[in-house]
Structure 1
Amino acid sequence: MRLTVLVDNATLTDRYFLAEPGLSIYIEDGETRVLFDTGYSGILVENARKMGIDLLRVGEIVLSHGHLDHTWGLDALLRLHTEAIIEGRERVEPTFVAHPDAFLTRSCDGVGEIGCHLSVEELFRHGKVLLTAAPLWLTENLVFLGEIERRFPFEPAPSGGYIYTPDGIRDDTVPDDTALACRTEEGLVIVTGCSHAGICSIVEQAREVCGEDRVADVIGGFHLLDPPAEQIEGILDYFAKVRPAALHPCHCTGLAAKIALAKVADVRETGVGLHLEYG
């Protein structure tokens, strides 16, 4: 398994890419190419081009959840595919994979739409759409974890936003938040978007779905910008028991949380341009 960070809040030192508050990670598992999230503005297209990554060859576009910093880059990706069709260039028709709630309208703090502004019907014009709340194996070793069971009381449910469902408006606890997990020789590699469902709940579900207790790495947003002390304490206790070989917290993970996590795990720098390979 190989992965490359295309979008993050920062770039690695002396790597001349674009950054923004968002996330996108390119993954290769054997011959399968997966794009996990698309960032906010579309800079993933330029960054991928500079890295020599052909996004037109990506078979699955997986969304961790519906928020704008993970889905609004879809516009640029769809333009890339549209231009390729018009110009007669080779491409793979993508399959979009997400939780069924990922395309619902969301609002927060007076902002009318903080969710994906593309509908499922619009995406169907550009490829296949596969919506599932259940785990879905993308390859023999790479799995979409589906809706995360929220297992730990120290990881509070998100609050403050609203989601507009066919049955009415309700508080948005981000039920669509999910992640990917890949079985490798070193253990599980878990790729998260924002971890609204709770980083420990995500890791525990990955271990359960994959039948593997060893964790080689967790990379992505941990949703720890200003967490309460009891949440950090619970997370540190959990990771001290799980003993991951490495952690790559980024995007929505604050400096204080990274320093705290470094007490119980090998926390490594993450940013646009990072390339990792696992056995």
Structure 2
Amino acid sequence: MQITTLIENLVYQSGLIAEHGLSFYLEGYNKKILFDTGQSGHFIENAKVLGIDISEVDALVISHGHYDHTGGLEAFLKLNAKASIFMKPAALDAKYHGEKRFIGTSLDSHLLNNRIHLVEEILEIDKGVFVMPDSPLVHALDSSFCGFKIKKGDQFEEDTFIDELFLTIVRSGKMSIISSCSHRGISNMINEAVRTFLLPVDLILGGFHLKNSTQEQYDEVVAYLRELKPERLGVSHCTGIEKFCELKKDLSFPVFYNMTGNRITI
């Protein structure tokens, strides 16, 4: 399987666009899968440059309901008439940063008619490709909820990201974990995948929301990764460039920055 990063915060390849957001494209055994849509429709433009036809995508998985992961959803739905959309119900909640800045999903809801599949339990959407709906907070420090709110009626409450999904891909006796933002903690996501599949870890890929982490939070993640010893770690988006540099220095296995246009084989 090849995983292509259609959009991410950084780009160095000529002809591609970067933005604050993330979108992955995967070709499985039987299905073409999109994981998030970035902040806008730019991921579609990048896909064309990279030789990928978004109209042929069979399944779209929404990691959570923030604009930098769902902003391109309306453009996707207008272009692609066949893909099933996998998400948790809370992905369409009214999400805010603080109580003034709306950072949720804005789109014509009619475009979603008869296309949404709500994920309540682990779901295999192609051979060896599993949508994981739960990330129990086993490592309590490794989470990023601070400042994020959900508006219900006239009231705001803390967003604990019960809508967050991630992917686990099982191939050749190993597994890879693909996360888009890891508000509930990358160590908690990995822990749930390890508990479920009992397999060694090849690749961990995605946004790990470490950019503004405390030293204590960062140290907990590093300690967990050192014990786990995955074969490789691909850092994107909300991890932050500074934390990428620290991870590369502090971990003994390969750590790379996964930017727009990057292609990875698993």
**Which runs of 5 or more residues in structure 2 are unaligned?**
none
Deviation sequence 1:168-188 (CA, Å, 0-9, x none): 642112221221010122621
Residue 266 (structure 1) aligns with: 254
Residue 110 (structure 2) aligns with: 122
Cα pair 1:99 1:147 within 8 Å, conserved: no
| Change in 2 beyond 3 A, CA 1:171/1:260 | same
Distance in 2 between residues matched to 1:206 and 1:122, nearest whole Å:
34
Residue 88 (structure 1) aligns with: none
Q: 2:160 aligns with which of 167, 170, 173?
A: 173
User: Is 1:276 aligned with 2:232?
Assistant: no
Cα pair 2:15 2:49 within 8 Å, conserved: no
Q: 1:253 aligns with which of 235, 239, 248?
A: 239
Cα pair 1:36 1:62 within 8 Å, conserved: yes
Deviation sequence 1:30-77 (CA, Å, 0-9, x none): 121110000001101100011110111111110110000000101211
Residue 68 (structure 2) aligns with: 69
Distance in 1 between residues matched to 2:130 and 2:103, nearest whole Å:
27
Residue 147 (structure 1) aligns with: 134
Q: 3-state DSSP class of the match of 2:255?
A: coil
| Change in 2 beyond 3 A, CA 1:182/1:80 | same
Residue 40 (structure 1) aligns with: 39
What TM-score results when the alignment is normalised by the length of structure 2?
A: 0.93
Deviation at 1:107, TM superposition (A): 1.7
Distance in 2 between residues matched to 1:166 and 1:137, nearest whole Å:
35
Deviation at 1:110, TM superposition (A): 4.6
User: Is 1:94 aligned with 2:83?
Assistant: yes
Residue 236 (structure 1) aligns with: 222
User: Is 1:107 aligned with 2:106?
Assistant: no
What TM-score results when the alignment is normalised by the length of structure 1?
A: 0.88
After superposition, the CA RMSD in angstroms is 1.9
Residue 146 (structure 2) aligns with: 159
Residue 197 (structure 1) aligns with: 184
Cα pair 2:143 2:182 within 8 Å, conserved: no
User: Is 1:210 aligned with 2:209?
Assistant: no
Distance in 1 between residues matched to 2:225 and 2:171, nearest whole Å:
19
Q: 3-state DSSP class of the match of 2:245?
A: helix
Q: 3-state DSSP class of the match of 1:34?
A: strand
Deviation at 1:100, TM superposition (A): 1.3
AA at the equivalent of 1:96: I
Distance in 1 between residues matched to 2:48 and 2:94, nearest whole Å:
31
Residue 222 (structure 1) aligns with: 208
Deviation at 1:122, TM superposition (A): 2.4
Q: How many residues align?
A: 264
Deviation at 1:112, TM superposition (A): 4.6
Deviation at 1:16, TM superposition (A): 2.6
Cα pair 2:211 2:240 within 8 Å, conserved: yes
Deviation at 1:25, TM superposition (A): 0.3
**Which runs of 5 or more residues in structure 1 are unaligned?**
82-91
Distance in 1 between residues matched to 2:185 and 2:4, nearest whole Å:
23
Cα pair 1:21 1:40 within 8 Å, conserved: yes
| Change in 2 beyond 3 A, CA 1:271/1:261 | same
Q: 3-state DSSP class of the match of 2:34?
A: strand
Deviation sequence 1:98-150 (CA, Å, 0-9, x none): 1110011112235452111237x52433x521112322111231100102111
Distance in 2 between residues matched to 1:6 and 1:156, nearest whole Å:
26
Distance in 2 between residues matched to 1:45 and 1:170, nearest whole Å:
34
Q: 1:188 aligns with which of 175, 180, 194?
A: 175
| Change in 2 beyond 3 A, CA 1:110/1:191 | same
